[in-house]
A and B are shown apart, each in its own frame.
Chain A
Amino acid sequence: MTKNADPKDLYFVDFPGRIRDIQDAMHKENLDVYLGSRLRTLSWTLDAFCPWRSYVVIPAEGMPTAFTFVIDAARVADDSWLDEDHVRGFAPMGGQDQIEQIAEFIKELLKGWRGRIGIETGMSNYLPEGNLTHYEYEQFKSSLDGCDLVNAHTIVDRLALIKDEGTINRFREASRIVDVGHEAVYDAIMHGGYKGRTETEIAGIAAHAMRKAGSEWEWSFTGGNEIACGYRTGLAGGACTPASRKALEPGEPLMVDLHAMFRLGLGDHAHNYLIHPVTDRQWWHAENFVTIVKRTLQTYRAGITPSRIAEEMMQFAEDQGFSDYMVPGFEHGIGMMGDEWRIGLNDGPFPYWTNPDHVYQQNEVLICALQYACPDEHIGFRYENPIVIRKQGCEALSRFPLGIEEIK
């Protein structure tokens, strides 16, 4: 379908160059083969979405080969920059199950040597991460007798940290599409249009508009387009609200968090509303939230750290008298499809969580994410937007105007 061949293409990514970078790093770490299994690694190396259990085998030099469930292999080859000889299918058949097929493939690469094989293991807060399971590890270890299996995911994590221009443009386009979704929701709910509509319907209105604009799917594992109204907006910590059948009601807040995907670049933008009639107290919460979002966006820049952002923003919220309602986190990681949790590398005090002292660099992309929740008053707001870290600030990729509108 979408072959990534023209360097003049706005969305061009040098995938062969990425493979060469991995191979250079493998050489430095004395690895003969890299066996990638995480969704983020598959997206980053193949330029194809791999929803089934999949692997990429990267030799010390030359082309990588992907392995996926046989029913999807032809489609992955069609989407990927790899040809069909480098996208293999596995199936529950003699000699064709994933362990035997990949182990045999690796043995052929090693030509009888007992090599060092980089694998991807660890843990993640993100369920579809795709680390090698204990069973897979044991099976590969047994099938590749004499080989050392070494955890090597940091190679890909380090290389994927700073985004190239093509990747940023993919995120930019996905964000433009998300803005189209927000416009569709706005048009549908204003002037009484919200009456009788449910959260699931709002999610669908946005999805329809975004698909028309070119989105491949509402990619988030948290439930596609996350919509909440009324008390659900104010659930403590409430950063996960798959749309429910709850109807939009007068006097309630509405949270619209939309997700679009464009060539594995991810759009993720949340916007909030108050449904008429709105109380002064609700406006007070809304103004607090908009103020701190603006301040946060003004604070992001190269050289700053997650902990410093959190300290500065929480102090500001404390000074203004609304810190009780702030969730003390202001971002989450993002990369090509499947890379949606940790910021930076696995080098923090809690393994596989964001290092609070990670120093942001230019051209890192993250989701600026703020959650404001007041369960007692059944009100809350969420802001999410992919931002590109620049030397003196950040570029917010979704351009839907920041604010909280009253729906009449």
Chain B
Amino acid sequence: MAQKVRYMSQEWRDEVEKRLLIELTPEKMKNLTSSMSNIYLKCPDGKDRYLFFSFENGRLKELALGEGDPPQAEFRITGEYETFARISRAELGSQRALMSGKLKLRGNMVKALKLASIADRVNKIISTIDAEY
């Protein structure tokens, strides 16, 4: 990718999807079937947005970016845009963001605990995208 893409834009979402499909094998994803909605509050234009991930048998099935109510998901993570941006820039770990209350998780914590390393893998791949924040 030669040009920077704007964070949380449709181009950025397409790049995330491309990289996740290439780099995340079902084995690396532990053949996971689950879904997660990240709710980005206070985006730079003042709006709230969501980024919805759905995995089936370890394969990315759907990645949706949008405004308004997010699709139903097994996990729902809510936080400010800047917190997610720091995670995507690898400046802040998602665990730390949760433990400091910067992010709020809804969903079964026991299952979430099992998926913590997978979420880290996803975030690590996202952090390799050269984005404009």
Contact = CB atoms under 8 A, between A and B. Distances in A.
Interface of A: 70, 73-74, 77, 84-85, 87-96, 101, 104
B98 A93 contact: yes
Nearest to A85: B108
Contact of A104 (B97, B102, B106, B108): B106
A82 to B, nearest CB: 12
A94 B110 contact: no
B105 interface: yes
Contacts of A70: 109-110, 113
Interface string B95-115: 001111111111011111100
A93 B110 contact: no
Contact of B105 (A74, A84, A87, A93): A93
B73 to A, nearest CB: 14
B104 A95 contact: yes
Listed from nearest, the 6 A-B pairs whose CB atoms lie closest are A95-B104, A94-B104, A93-B98, A89-B109, A89-B110, A73-B110
Contacts of A90: 109
Q: Is the interface of B mostly helix, strand, loop or mixed?
A: mixed
Q: Is the interface of A mostly helix, strand, loop or mixed?
A: mixed
15 contacts: A70-B109, A70-B110, A84-B111, A85-B108, A88-B108, A89-B108, A89-B109, A89-B113, A90-B109, A93-B98, A93-B101, A94-B100, A94-B105, A96-B112, A101-B109
Contact of A87 (B78, B106, B110): B110
Nearest to A100: B104
Contacts, number: 52
A77 B113 CA distance: 15
Nearest to A86: B108
B103 A94 contact: yes
Contact of B98 (A77, A84, A88, A96): A96
B79 A73 contact: no
B109 A88 contact: yes
A73 B109 CA distance: 9
Contacts of A104: 106
Interface of B: 78-79, 97-106, 108-113
A148 to B, nearest CB: 26
A92 B110 contact: no
Given A94-B101, A94-B105, A95-B106, 18 more contacts: A70-B109, A84-B110, A87-B110, A88-B109, A89-B109, A89-B110, A89-B113, A91-B109, A93-B105, A94-B78, A94-B97, A94-B98, A94-B99, A94-B103, A95-B104, A96-B98, A96-B104, A96-B112
Contacts of B101: 93-94
Q: Choose among B98, B101, B102, B109 the residue with the greatest number of A CB atoms under 10 Å from its CB.
A: B109
Contact of A88 (B102, B103, B104, B110): B110
A70 to B, nearest CB: 5
A94 B112 CA distance: 13
A88 B108 CA distance: 6
Contacts of A73: 109-110
A104 B103 CA distance: 16
B56 to A, nearest CB: 19
B79 A94 contact: yes
Contacts of B109: 70, 73, 88-91, 93, 96, 101
Contact of B102 (A84, A89, A94, A101): A94
B126 to A, nearest CB: 20
A88 B111 CA distance: 9
Contacts of B99: 92-94
B105 A96 contact: yes
Contacts of A95: 78, 103-106
A282 to B, nearest CB: 57
A158 B9 CA distance: 60
A95 to B, nearest CB: 3
Nearest to A104: B106
A205 to B, nearest CB: 39
Nearest to B95: A93
A70 B109 CA distance: 7
Nearest to B96: A93
A77 B78 CA distance: 27
B129 to A, nearest CB: 25
Contacts of A89: 108-110, 113
A95 B97 CA distance: 12
Contacts of A85: 108
Nearest to A76: B110
Contacts of A101: 109
Nearest to A94: B104
Contacts of A94: 78-79, 97-105
Q: Choose among B100, B105, B106, B110 the residue with the greatest number of A CB atoms under 10 Å from its CB.
A: B110
B98 A74 contact: no
Nearest to A73: B110
A335 to B, nearest CB: 28
Contacts of A77: 110
Contacts of A92: 99
